[in-house]
Amino acid sequence: MFTERGTWSPVGKPAASPPERSVPAMPQHLSGDISEVKFLTVAEVAATMRVSKMTVYRLVHNGELPAVQVGRSFRINEDDVNEYLRKSFYSAG
């Protein structure tokens, strides 16, 4: 069955709208000239942090590590990686 909007839905059930994607704001430290910023790939960040690429993807998707999406891939500011590591440092006493 097709609905008024031309989308298909099972009989008796209205078609669900696709979820809205919110676009996060650019971090304050990047709001100026970004020509000198060094962006890293997910693989480079994973190698730097010595974790899997999936861990980096989780950090990005959870909003713990800011990233720029270019097409289907992500680029992460090197300074953001260093800041994340600084904040995550754990001192066993």
User: Of all residues in the chain, what percent are helix, strand and coil, respectively (each to 5)?
Assistant: 35, 15, 55
CATH fold of 36-88 reads Multidrug-efflux Transporter Regulator; Chain: A; Domain 2 (1.10.1660)
Q: Tell me, what's the pLDDT at 67?
A: 96
In contact, 39 and 68? CB cutoff 8 Å? yes
Distance of CA 88 to the CA centre of its chain: 18
The domain segmentation of the chain, as residue ranges, is 36-88
- Measured CA to CA, the distance from residue 25 to residue 66 in angstroms comes to 10
Phi then psi for residue 39, to 5 deg, are -95, 140
- pLDDT-based confidence at 47, cuts 50/70/90? very high
* pLDDT tens digits, 67-93: 999 999 999 999 999 999 999 988 776
Residue 65: closest CA among 48, 52, 82:
82
Query: What does DSSP assign to residue 23?
Result: P
DSSP 3-state assignment of 14? coil
* pLDDT tens digits, 1-34: 555 555 555 665 555 655 565 555 555 555 567 7
